[in-house]
Structure 1
Amino acid sequence: MGPEVACPWRGHLPHFQVRTWIEPVVASIQVASSLYDAGLLLVVKASFATGGSSNHSTSPSPRGDPEDQQQKAISNFYIIYNLVVGLTPLLSAYGLGWLSDRYHRKISICVSLLGFLLSRLTLLLKVLLDWPVAVLYAGAALNGLCGGFSAFWSGVMALGSLGSSEGRRSLRLIVLDLVLGLAGFCGSMASGHLFKQITGHSGQGLVLTACSVGCAAFALLYSLLVLKVPEPVAKASRKLPAVDTVSGMVGTYRTLDPDQPDKQSVGGHTPSPRRSRPKRTIIGLLFVGAIIYDLAVVGTVDMMPLFVLREPLSWNQVQVGYGMASGYIVFITSFLGVLVFSRCFQDTTMIMIGMVSFGSGALLLAFVKETYMFYVARAVMLFALIPITTIRSAMSKLINGSSYGKVFVILQLSLALTGVVTSTVYNNIYQLTMDKFVGTCFVLSSFLSFLAIVPIGIVAYKQVPWLQYGDRTEK
């Protein structure tokens, strides 16, 4: 299984198979993003530390503590920034997905990469020219108007799904997440050191932001000049109604896949409206589970930078980079989890394992007092990436290949929109509770993570009767 695991799509690509790999684009843009995320936090913190916090703080701290004022200023900045990042893609991402399905698969990827580059350039110019922090909102808006991460990742998922068979699709998509995680880990580990390369307020962060711009520019040029769209992989033979046991949802995908009309007509039966209702129900429940779980993840991830900057942790720049890097370890452990669990568990079981993993880690995070406790909580979240990736894989098996771009971008926009609401709510909760119990947001995330298990559990409970129904209609 060695070569096949390392390259699960081998043997299914055209002659220029290396040029169809999207991994170089994913790796380079994720390095750029991890550098940018760390640089953004540290640049904003440095700006408010020099007196900018008074313009952004809604009200002074009851104790007049400068650290609390700075925390509120950073929190208020991220409320507006996340609103811009989350809402502006709604204007363009779906259109880019539609154009990608209709004309060329690279449209959504290339346009969104242009937005990434412009936003990284904005941070670089802010450091070079000492512009006000508010200019970063403009960079976020440019990124969003070009589709943002919603358009980019839906385009990546579409290319990954096209270039893989149904049996290998869960593994193919988690490989892309693995590349994303490894690149993010490397970028985050280096971010703190790069930020300190130039001392002094005017130049601090210059090397870091310049490296981020360089990686984003490489990703754009590679996607324009090198990347080729893979040929769709032919579907497996439908002669025998054998049960599909790959990566779970046993039988459900086989009997409900809209790309398999020949199966429905084996016994001379015409498609029944009753057969489409379970498929829509599955997709709807998967959407609900993904959105609730994403609320928990976004809330936790957004609050972590603020949490580690204040007491009791009070991390410096290098520690912040290491902390962000620890979040990318989950990409590796989730990949290994899918590799192992897909052999013996259904998709729904793997999704619930990931949700329990994240919910437990978030609950531990709420009570962190020492740095080592933070990493223990992070270690408990080792399978946190499995749910969203597996849900995407499940949806790809229930829709036509020609609709991948639109469906994936709808899911990504739904997650982005709920993420905007979550970020605003969590930042306000954090400001209200940081003097009483700083881990309140993490407790809420833990509750939401366990709540997301409910719709997935319904899918797991209902799928056996549907399998029996499908088998009877095909005989």
Structure 2
Amino acid sequence: MVVKDRSVNASYPNASQPTEESQQKFISDFYMIYYLILQVAPILPAVLLAKMGDRGWRKAPIVVPLFGYFQCSLTLLLVVLFNLPMEVMFGAGTIFGLSGSFCAFWSGVMTVTSVGCTADDRSKVLMRVELLYGLVGVAANLVSGHLFLLCSSSLGRGTVQLAVSALMFVFCFIHVVVLLQVKEIKQEPEEICPALSNDPGVRVEAPAGTNKVNMVLLFAAAVLYGTANYGSMDLQGTFVMKEPLNWNATQLGYGNAASSVIFFTSFLGVVVFRRCVSEIVIILIGMVSFASGMIFMSFVKATYMFYIARFLNMFELIPLPTIRSLLSQQVPASSCGITLTSLQVSLKVAGLAYIPAFTKIYQKTLSWFPGFIFTLSATLTVLAMIPISIIGCRSAQNHQNVTIRRKWWKRHQPHTST
């Protein structure tokens, strides 16, 4: 919303364009540069913080990014208070990225959660963390638009909201440093790998060592789905601020709250579906949910249609946490942090391509089909389903082979007499 306010008085190189289209290009160009900074800067710091975490400093990947969050929020507050140029945020974004940003923070949270629970409960526990994150997001977004509009003659729009945000980061930092307890469950080398079983009630022997083929397929699916999800969602805020929706700060907050509800519905989906289907099928359900919602979003012309599209997306958050769960079960606990961070870094590297690509495609199609980027994300989601389906076929074949080996072993066991 701050960028939108600044775009009103911004002069765009192509002055012949309509005012709204010019503003849309200003906003999308600003965020293209800002998001690219956030993709590049955290790569090395996130890896270093992950290694520190695996060596026993589990809080490091959480504490350091929180400082980056605080300074970024504080810098934006100063931009609003003193009417500083928006380009100042590029510097704040760089510092935020060098602190590890969300890449290190969320991987650190997921690692602390993963090492504190058993492999059988890991996907449910990870999704529970996503649920809590989403519930808080619902409450925050419902009030954020109202907080943004609170101002006086001496304060600009957004100052109250940004001050509250900075204060909450301080509280979060204190909580992690003082109160958070990291408890690791020592697990023996597992003889089973229920995550890749085709039957949710059957436990299948895991191959000796890491299954590199499955890991490559999981990484490919995560990158494709992350590209589809993040690429379109990064531009959703820009999309709803233009005609015909033309949302204000309060409506934008409500829309973000509706998106946060998806954390809750995705959690319920994991709890219900894991009782009757494998995690591979659960991932596919989430991807189908996202693809169908994006197809509908492509043709949104009114606010109620936006909420219908988000309803169809009710399980969109299931795939990535479940993929993280599967990856964490393919490596020993000592390598869990670096594996999850490597996945997050892969998503960051992919962002170097999809952020400018989605932005330029959005600008090129703005006049004739602004929802084209959502159709594109649905197509990429369908492609992401291919490697997941291959893993499902491989696990079914492995399950069949294990069953045959067990029957052969029992048949050829020597009979002993008492």
Alignment TM-score, normalising by the size of structure 1: 0.82
One-letter amino acid matched to 1:176? V
Contact 1:86/1:417, CA 8 A, preserved across alignment = yes
Query: Equivalent residues in 2 for 1:19-418 (5 A)?
Result: 42-49=1-8, 51=9, 53-54=10-11, 57-60=12-15, 62=16, 64-199=17-152, 202-235=155-188, 250=199, 254-256=204-206, 275-276=208-209, 279-418=211-350
* Alignment RMSD (CA, Å): 2.0
Contact 1:85/1:143, CA 8 A, preserved across alignment = yes
Q: 1:133-184, CA deviations, whole angstroms, 9 ceiling, x for partnerless residues?
A: 0011111111100101111111111111111111111110000000111111
Q: 1:238-278, CA deviations, whole angstroms, 9 ceiling, x for partnerless residues?
A: 7xx7x765795559985227xxxxxxxxxxxxxxxxx557x
Contact 1:253/1:398, CA 8 A, preserved across alignment = no
Give 1:329 deviation, angstroms. Answer: 1.1
Give 1:118 deviation, angstroms. Answer: 1.1
What is the aligned length? 406
Contact 1:249/1:346, CA 8 A, preserved across alignment = yes
Structure 2 alignment gaps of length 5 or more: 410-418
One-letter amino acid matched to 2:319? P
One-letter amino acid matched to 1:119? C
Q: 1:211-259, CA deviations, whole angstroms, 9 ceiling, x for partnerless residues?
A: 11011111111111111211325459x7xx7x765795559985227xx
Contact 1:44/1:74, CA 8 A, preserved across alignment = yes
Distance 2:72 2:203 in 1: 40
Give 1:472 deviation, angstroms. Answer: 5.5
One-letter amino acid matched to 1:417? V
Evaluate the alpha carbon distance shift between residue 290 and residue 108 of structure 1 in structure 2; reply closer, same or farther with a 3 A threshold. Answer: same
Give 1:469 deviation, angstroms. Answer: 3.4
Q: Report the 3-state secondary structure (helix = DSSP H, G, I; strand = E; otherwise coil) of the residue aligned with 1:166.
A: coil
Q: Which moved more, 1:198-207 or 1:309-318?
A: 198-207
Distance 1:472 1:380 in 2: 41
Q: Report the 3-state secondary structure (helix = DSSP H, G, I; strand = E; otherwise coil) of the residue aligned with 1:184.
A: helix
Distance 2:255 2:26 in 1: 22
Distance 1:300 1:206 in 2: 28
Contact 2:71/2:96, CA 8 A, preserved across alignment = yes
Q: 1:447 aligns with which of 372, 379, 390?
A: 379
Evaluate the alpha carbon distance shift between residue 463 and residue 187 of structure 1 in structure 2; reply closer, same or farther with a 3 A threshold. Answer: same
Alignment TM-score, normalising by the size of structure 2: 0.92
Evaluate the alpha carbon distance shift between residue 229 and residue 396 of structure 1 in structure 2; reply closer, same or farther with a 3 A threshold. Answer: same
Match of 1:7 in 2: none
Distance 1:248 1:304 in 2: 37
Q: 1:85-136, CA deviations, whole angstroms, 9 ceiling, x for partnerless residues?
A: 1110013110110111113111111111111111111111111221110011
Contact 2:197/2:204, CA 8 A, preserved across alignment = no
One-letter amino acid matched to 2:133? L
Match of 1:25 in 2: none
Distance 1:97 1:155 in 2: 7
Evaluate the alpha carbon distance shift between residue 231 and residue 276 of structure 1 in structure 2; reply closer, same or farther with a 3 A threshold. Answer: closer
Structure 1 alignment gaps of length 5 or more: 1-41, 258-274
Distance 1:79 1:359 in 2: 23
Q: Report percent identity of matched pairs.
A: 38
Q: Report the 3-state secondary structure (helix = DSSP H, G, I; strand = E; otherwise coil) of the residue aligned with 2:170.
A: helix
Distance 1:376 1:332 in 2: 17
Distance 1:248 1:206 in 2: 52
Distance 1:193 1:334 in 2: 27
